[in-house]
Structure 1
Amino acid sequence: MTRIPNWGSLRSLRVLALSALIMSSVSPAAANTSLYSYGGVNDEALALYRQGWSEILERGRWAEAERLYRAALVLAPDFVIAKSVLARMTDDAAEREALVHEINRSRGRVDVRGQLILDPYAMTLTLITARESGATLRAGFREDLTNLAIANYQKFIEHYPDEWAVRIEYLEWIHAKQGPGEALRAIEAMKAANPAHGARLSYFPASFYAEIGDFAKATEEAERFIRQLGPGDWPQAHYIGAFIAHLQGDYRLASESINDALRLDPQHIIAQRLKVEIEKALNDRSLQVETEEPEDS
């Protein structure tokens, strides 16, 4: 008889991630019916682009996503939005600069609805290049980017509600501006409009619940997400376990899990950032123990 893990245990969450290879896959939701054409890009290139988003947001395989975006651009060299995503991912500053030049030269070819997602992508690239070069951005740039992204993505998913990856990006910007509580309320609003729109939100509901301190709900959502991933050992499963463990203060478990995520995909940018936070927490705890004076006997 199969035993159901106790999801109050963070170690059970890690066990589920490690045993995903033998788990049954959850049946996918009904096929999407309201999708953007991305300016009539050929079907094969568009399929590669969409799969790239699945690799990033669901499986957590950034290296594979980069490969897919590059393959899409071989098939469709004028796929401007795909170029903007690749430009954000590459760690080659010279390549990013060249891609930004191509994007700026070709932006006029993107239709009005495509501009809704391209404009925030382009501003994000400005932020990245400024950070790399040490340039100073005008006052209010980040706030303007946040507000533009929220407004544009909201309009986009009103037209194309089955564009699940853009829904997730919308939630990320809501979270950036207003915090996890507001992001969770946005999810509830999506589900109220269409229950299917709450079915493919990756690990984000789990992370939002963890941030507000509802760890029981966070582990419940993490369980659901990992089971949806189906068979395989996916970086994202380890990442969400590390995220929850970190917020609960179990830094050693968090370290084990984040190392597993990065072992599977060293290019997982979000996992790299979390690893830095976890290592700092472990170091701070170690220093605290070293500096504590023993009690007088």
Structure 2
Amino acid sequence: MPEALNLPLSLHIKCLGLLLIAFASLSCSKTEHSFIPNYGTEVDSARYYFLKGWEEILDNGRWTESEVAFRKASALDPDWLLGKSMIGRITRNLEERQRLFAELDSLKDNAGEDERMLLDVNLLSMQSANNRGLGIPNSPEANRRRVELAERNFGKFSRKYPSDNYFKAEYIEFLHAIHGARVALDSLNILASAEQQQLGFYLAYAADLELELGNTDRAMALSLVLDEKLSDPSYLSPLMLKANIYISFDSLEKASELVDRVVAADSNHMIAKGLQSRIREAIANEATDND
């Protein structure tokens, strides 16, 4: 769930080289590591709620339900560092996040290799959020270290465990932040299996990337598929995607209505709340310009 970053040109690699490396690594690892990783816990019920938390936030767009699931996962295995770090990432309580960061940072050497790869990125994300909560700007160098580590570690994990759905999703988000929409979309199509590409995140994110690339018809087609897959009205991802499509048509009022519905349904949906503020500001600016 990385924020967009403007990074120096020197960080951008050639798209073809990136994709060839990703494809080669994925092909080599598929047969050896086709199983689902344990993510650092031997408690099956904890792992179930951990994955449920990811499903809720990335596929369904339900942030409150996601936090509930992550907290259940941690309660079922209180010693699980990666599980606890997800509470640190999703909580809006600065003091709780600071406490969790200090605890996890002191215990991180106890994590196994795979868990540590993921935990290290989560710790940098928590540290970044703590700084924002304290009003301390995150330096460009700190942001660069975080996204570079995320690209490296999430990419390695995704290639080692192709069956993982959600750290692969985060990897694609970071590819987007660093290398742009074209690389992210091509990587999504290469790295995600046919089954994964039917999950809510991959449908919605592919559509958003198509929008950014100017392919509105493709985005609208993916939106229809997402509507079919997530027909429960409590699922909020379809509304967010439609809002982005309306924004691409400069239909800010219609986009605003949809985003308002998302925030009303889930006041913890931080992406929707941020988008709501930006849309309202854009509408106000339009009104001022027309005066």
- What TM-score range do you get, normalising by the shorter chain? 0.7 to 0.9
Aligned structure 1 segments of 4 or more residues deviating by more than 6 angstroms: none
Shifted more, 95-104 versus 127-136: the winner is 127-136
After superposition, give the CA deviation of every residue in 1:127-172 in whole Å (9 maximum; x if it has no partner). Answer: 1111122335555111121111111111101111111111110110
Contact kept? 1:116, 1:153, Cα under 8 Å: yes
The 1:144–1:239 alpha-carbon spacing in structure 2 relative to 1, beyond 3 Å, is: same
Counterpart residue type for residue 264 of structure 2: R
1:119-198 maps to which residues of 2 (within 5 A)? 119-137=120-138, 140-190=141-191, 194-198=193-197
User: Which residue number in structure 2 is paired with residue 25 of structure 1?
Assistant: none
1:146-295 maps to which residues of 2 (within 5 A)? 146-190=147-191, 194-200=193-199, 201-290=202-291
Cα distance in 2 for residues equivalent to 1:58 and 1:197 = 11
1:76-155 maps to which residues of 2 (within 5 A)? 76-137=77-138, 140-155=141-156
Cα distance in 1 for residues equivalent to 2:83 and 2:183 = 29
The 1:138–1:240 alpha-carbon spacing in structure 2 relative to 1, beyond 3 Å, is: closer
Highest relative contact order (Cα 8 Å, sep 6+), 1 or 2? 1
Q: 1:273: Cα distance to partner?
A: 1.1
After superposition, give the CA deviation of every residue in 1:18-66 in whole Å (9 maximum; x if it has no partner). Answer: xxxxxxxxxxxxxx95211122330111101100101001111111111
Q: How many percent of aligned residue pairs carry the same amino acid? A: 25
1:13-92 maps to which residues of 2 (within 5 A)? 34-92=35-93
Shifted more, 140-149 versus 168-177: the winner is 140-149
Give ranges in structure 2 of 5+ residues lacking alignment. 1-32
User: Which residue number in structure 2 is paired with residue 23 of structure 1?
Assistant: none
Cα distance in 2 for residues equivalent to 1:245 and 1:187 = 24
Cα distance in 1 for residues equivalent to 2:47 and 2:208 = 29
Counterpart residue type for residue 225 of structure 1: L
For these two proteins, the number of residue pairs brought into alignment is 257
After superposition, give the CA deviation of every residue in 1:69-115 in whole Å (9 maximum; x if it has no partner). Answer: 11111111112112111111111111111111221122122111112
User: Which residue number in structure 1 is paired with residue 20 of structure 2?
Assistant: none
Q: TM-score, normalised by structure 2?
A: 0.84
Secondary structure of 2:232's counterpart equals coil
Counterpart residue type for residue 68 of structure 1: A
Counterpart residue type for residue 198 of structure 1: Q
Counterpart residue type for residue 176 of structure 2: H
Counterpart residue type for residue 151 of structure 1: R
Cα distance in 2 for residues equivalent to 1:252 and 1:175 = 27
Give ranges in structure 1 of 5+ residues lacking alignment. 1-31, 291-297
Question: Which structure has the greater CA radius of gyration?
Answer: 1
The 1:52–1:212 alpha-carbon spacing in structure 2 relative to 1, beyond 3 Å, is: same
Secondary structure of 2:195's counterpart equals helix
Counterpart residue type for residue 194 of structure 2: P
Cα distance in 2 for residues equivalent to 1:260 and 1:183 = 29
Contact kept? 1:238, 1:258, Cα under 8 Å: yes
Q: TM-score, normalised by structure 1?
A: 0.82
Counterpart residue type for residue 78 of structure 1: D
Secondary structure of 2:276's counterpart equals helix
